[in-house]
Structure 1
């Protein structure tokens, strides 16, 4: 446990030194501010920029529009940011050969991997929930009369999918020893999830539901009972990716 805590502390220190922590926090905070502002002022902006004589009817924005922006930016931008920042989580150690000294001095390989995973998870957790609470605060300010259902379920689903991608990235980092392999593996994994939807009977097990139907959760048309299969599959995939990463890393020449 002492070795795990020490190596995790090293990871977090590196995130501050290479500005990844600052960059993630800044970008996610910006997204958190933009979500409700876009929902609030986009209709006015569209109206001002439309040519004269052309009128478009836009419904009065509500708190749901703010959360639409949150999930849209979270899946299209937030996850992309984390994947890019974490793609080289082990490439530098392989390149510099620093892992050899650690392992020869008795540091268990699984400790290295779990510390890497913990550091990446910390970065994702802090950034994501900061974005959420900023969005929540501004949404309550601009749309005080708005009501939402299952908000915790919808935002937790997106967060869990981010954890899954981090686990896949860690597996890719072990397999390819560079920053590009994890990106390719993650891209291939996402492609498989999209192809998964071609089989109607298996859709309910697809983790992709966690980031594609958040508004259905928020509006109460998709309940926790209907998500159990995809949540279970996501948990199994996270565990399998971590176990596979440990197994491959134990057999990998450093």
Structure 2
């Protein structure tokens, strides 16, 4: 266990040195700050674009519009950036051919792979939580206050989804040697869970992407039962990704 903590610390240091954490911070700060601003200003901008003689009636923006914006920005911008940030988690180490030296030390392959998952969970989790706190405070300063407890539930569920996509990407990085290829796998998994699941009625209620479409129900009512199946799928896929990555890496030959 001590070896695992040491490896996690090493990974976090490396993420900071290579500016990966900085990229996460910039992306999520942009999402957190821009979402309520766009929600507030969009109606005014559209009014300014109105044609002379044509009156455009737009509803007064609310905190729900800000939530719409941040959910769209997370699912369409932040997630894709994160996929390619973590895509080289294992494959880059293989290409640098530093693994043999590292693994000749009293470090198990299992702990090495686990450190890749947990270090990204920690860094991403801290950045995500900080950005959502900032978003909430900024949104209630522009609009009226809404349930903090329900917002925390929504944020926690979204974070689980992000962890799932990141886990699939790290699994892909364990299998392939190219960070571009592993990033592509992460992107495809995002498309599959976001689109394909929703197109098939039989499995539609299991779609992890329901987290992004049912968030208003969570904000209004707290945790809703419709999220049970998507969350189970998310946890199963995340756990399976970790187990598969560990098992596959333990069987791989490390190139010199």
On the 8 A contact 2:172/2:182 being kept in 1, the answer is yes
More deviation in 74-83 or 138-147?
138-147
On the 8 A contact 2:28/2:128 being kept in 1, the answer is yes
- In the TM superposition, residue 181 of structure 1 has moved relative to its aligned partner by 2.0
Change (3 A) 1:3 1:145: closer
Find the aligned partners of 2:148 and 2:68 in 1 and give their Cα distance: 12
On the 8 A contact 1:148/1:219 being kept in 2, the answer is no
- In the TM superposition, residue 146 of structure 1 has moved relative to its aligned partner by 4.9
Instruction: Kindly report which structure 2 residues correspond to 1:9-28, keeping only aligned pairs within 5 A, or say none.
Output: 9-28=9-28
- In the TM superposition, residue 234 of structure 1 has moved relative to its aligned partner by 1.0
State the match for 1:212 in structure 2. Answer: 213
Change (3 A) 1:33 1:192: closer
On the 8 A contact 2:83/2:187 being kept in 1, the answer is no
> Structure 1 runs of 4+ off > 3 angstroms?
145-149
- In the TM superposition, residue 145 of structure 1 has moved relative to its aligned partner by 5.0
Find the aligned partners of 2:149 and 2:129 in 1 and give their Cα distance: 18
TM-score (norm 1): 0.92
Instruction: Kindly report which structure 2 residues correspond to 1:76-95, keeping only aligned pairs within 5 A, or say none.
Output: 76-95=76-95
On the 8 A contact 2:11/2:116 being kept in 1, the answer is yes
State the match for 1:43 in structure 2. Answer: 43
Instruction: Kindly report which structure 2 residues correspond to 1:1-254, keeping only aligned pairs within 5 A, or say none.
Output: 1-146=1-146, 150-193=150-193, 194-220=195-221, 223-254=223-254
SS in structure 1 opposite 2:199?
A: coil
- In the TM superposition, residue 225 of structure 1 has moved relative to its aligned partner by 1.8
Change (3 A) 1:207 1:161: same
TM-score (norm 2): 0.92
Consecutive unaligned residues in structure 2, runs of 5 or more: none
- In the TM superposition, residue 34 of structure 1 has moved relative to its aligned partner by 0.7
Find the aligned partners of 1:141 and 1:39 in 2 and give their Cα distance: 13
Consecutive unaligned residues in structure 1, runs of 5 or more: none
- In the TM superposition, residue 82 of structure 1 has moved relative to its aligned partner by 0.9
Find the aligned partners of 2:88 and 2:212 in 1 and give their Cα distance: 24
Find the aligned partners of 2:105 and 2:113 in 1 and give their Cα distance: 16
Q: How many residues align?
A: 253
- In the TM superposition, residue 11 of structure 1 has moved relative to its aligned partner by 0.8
- Report the RMSD for the aligned CA atoms in angstroms: 1.8
Find the aligned partners of 2:115 and 2:72 in 1 and give their Cα distance: 30
Change (3 A) 1:212 1:177: farther
